[in-house]
Amino acid sequence: MSEHVEITHSIDTSGTRCPIPLLRAKQALKDLSQGDCLEVIATDPSAKPDFDAMLKHLPHELVSYSTQSEPTRLDRFVIRKG
C-alpha cells in the first residue's frame, strides 16, 4: 500500500485492551467526513484481528497497517471512512 494518505485525525489507544481500541475508533469515525482518514495507535496484541473483524461489517477501509515489536509492541492502523 504505497498510496499517500493524509491523516485527518489520530487517536492513541496504547495501554488499553479490547474492546476499548475498537470503541474509540468507531466513535472517532462518527465525527469524520466520508473519505477522511483516522490513524489508530494500539498496543493490544488482539487489535489486528479485532479491527479486521470490525471492518468486515462496516463501510470503512483499512488503508494501511504496520506493527513494530521493539522496544514494545505498537500497531498503527489507518482507516478511511466509507
> Is 18 designated active site?
yes
Query: How many Cβ atoms are within 10 Å of 63's Cβ, its own excluded?
Result: 16
Question: 35: phi > 0 → left, psi -120 to 50 → alpha, else beta; which?
Answer: left
Active-site position among 18, 55, 62, 63: 18
Gap between the terminal Cα atoms of the chain: 18
Catalytic residues: 18
